[in-house]
Amino acid sequence: MNIPIQGFQPFIYDAAEAIKPTPAAQSCQNIDLNLDLNLEAEASLDSLPNLADAFSAAIPAGSANTSLSLPKAILLPVYTTYGTPTKVVIRGRALEDDTQPAKSDDSWLRNFRRSINEFESDEIPKLKLEVEFEGKRYPVTTDKEGFFELHLEPSPPLKPGIHPVSVKLAEAHPRYLAQPSQGQVHVHENNQPSLGIVSDIDDTILQSHVTNKLKLVECMLFKNATTQDPVPGMAEFYQALERQDQRQDGDIHYLSGSPVNFEERLGEFMSLNDFPKGSLDLKHLGFGPNTDKLRGQEEYKLGKLRKLFETYPERRFILIGDNGEKDPEIYRRIQAEYPDRVQGVLIRNVRDDAFNHARYSGQTLFNSASQAAEKAYTKGWINASDLASVRQAEAPK
């Protein structure tokens, strides 16, 4: 069952009504979205069809592998996780490889098809895999939604830092072929002296336009990792925060309410735009006991934040988000629960609110990355050279 598409379909249908094209473009309404993607080169947003009608047609019929003779290529994405020297979790998934690599000159139609494929993922259940970590191999089997999760208690304890993970098929398979996949576990001490950084993604580092339904849908469905826009200067600011202890050791933890289906896209976006590597928490949408609800963003993020704080009971954190949704309220509750450990809260001002608004009491509102960096500099989190780098990156080219 493909939970993500069912969960998001009502939202996309509602949003589609807001971006119906002009009558002239309606003639494209019956376009065959199963045409060879090589024919899309001339497609543009000006010829955008009615999404409510095109949505179902965009999902390739019979996408499941029915061939008994030729093995099908699959993907084994490994998610970046965090842990301690004595406890780590390795997570990943097995999926059919239905997407084309993103390119900067992809048409809106190619991007739309790719986005739908990301939602409508074809997971591979009950697949036997082998995880290699720290020179040891562990067997795992994917669940009914293609996920696997491995809990380890290393002995001797791991050194703090970034530890590689490799995942491959446990044995030759008659139906599937897969290249080994690489991932990371970011290990920190319980009392790590450097500050941990928690960052939202949408409208904090990636311009998603959550407060504008039309622009949000354009960003989510008609762009890709190479064409989505970063918030100017934020990559340089995060690089500065990552350098606070003179080590590239994964101090940043990215937390988003986006579905885990977007993990590859978000990871590519952050890599292309030079954001530091960090662990990543995304929603696992579904109806089971270990899944997340489509709505209920506040409780979802609070749960992830509490788990992070409890994993490192002595570590101090900076929380970074935006005021497009509920980040200020979520972070305020964490401030109240862990008053001695939250060193600061930075909120990107996407709503153009007044800086003295009561909603942001005890928090710092910023309009630009350089304003956030100036606050960080006054708190001693970054140095003068780092501040200059952020200002330079933010300056108009």
Torsional sign, CA 184, 190, 192, 197: positive
Residue 292: per-residue pLDDT: 60
| pTM exceeds 0.85, yes or no | no
* Cα first-last separation, the chain: 47
> What is the CATH topology of the domain spanning 72-187?
Immunoglobulin-like (2.60.40)
Q: Which residues contact 36 (CB under 8 A, 6 or more apart)?
A: none
How far apart CA 150 and CA 14 sit, in angstroms, is 39
Burial 70-104 (b: 16+ CB within 10 A, else e): eebebbbbbbbbbbbbeebebbbbbbbbbbeebee
Q: Which residues contact 63 (CB under 8 A, 6 or more apart)?
A: 96, 98, 120, 122
Secondary-structure breakdown of the chain: helix, strand, coil percentages, each rounded to the nearest 5: 35, 25, 45
How far apart CA 25 and CA 9 sit, in angstroms, is 23
**Residue 21, preceding peptide bond in cis (omega within 30° of 0):** no
As to burial, measured by CB atoms within 10 angstroms (0-12 exposed, 13-18 middle, 19+ buried), residue 287 is: exposed
Q: Which residues contact 157 (CB under 8 A, 6 or more apart)?
A: 85, 86
User: What is the chain's pLDDT, residue by residue, as a tens digit (397 residues)?
Assistant: 444 443 444 444 344 444 444 333 333 333 333 333 343 443 444 444 455 444 444 544 444 444 456 889 999 999 999 999 999 999 999 999 877 789 999 999 999 988 888 877 789 999 999 999 999 999 999 999 999 999 999 999 999 999 999 999 999 899 999 999 999 999 999 887 889 999 999 999 999 998 888 888 888 899 999 999 999 999 999 999 999 888 888 999 999 998 898 999 999 999 999 999 999 999 876 555 566 665 678 999 999 999 999 999 999 999 999 999 999 999 999 999 999 999 999 999 999 999 999 999 999 999 999 999 999 999 999 999 999 999 999 988 7
Residue 316: per-residue pLDDT: 96
CB 205 within 8 A of CB 362: no
Name the superfamily (CATH) of residues 196-394. HAD superfamily/HAD-like (3.40.50.1000)
Say which amino acid occupies 81.
T
As to burial, measured by CB atoms within 10 angstroms (0-12 exposed, 13-18 middle, 19+ buried), residue 184 is: buried
Residue 285: per-residue pLDDT: 66
Residue 345: per-residue pLDDT: 98
How far apart CA 377 and CA 396 sit, in angstroms, is 22
Residue 293: per-residue pLDDT: 61
3-class DSSP state of 49? coil
Where are the chain's structural domains?
A: 3-57, 72-187, 196-394
How far apart CA 142 and CA 299 sit, in angstroms, is 27
3-class DSSP state of 265? helix
Torsional sign, CA 383, 388, 391, 392: negative
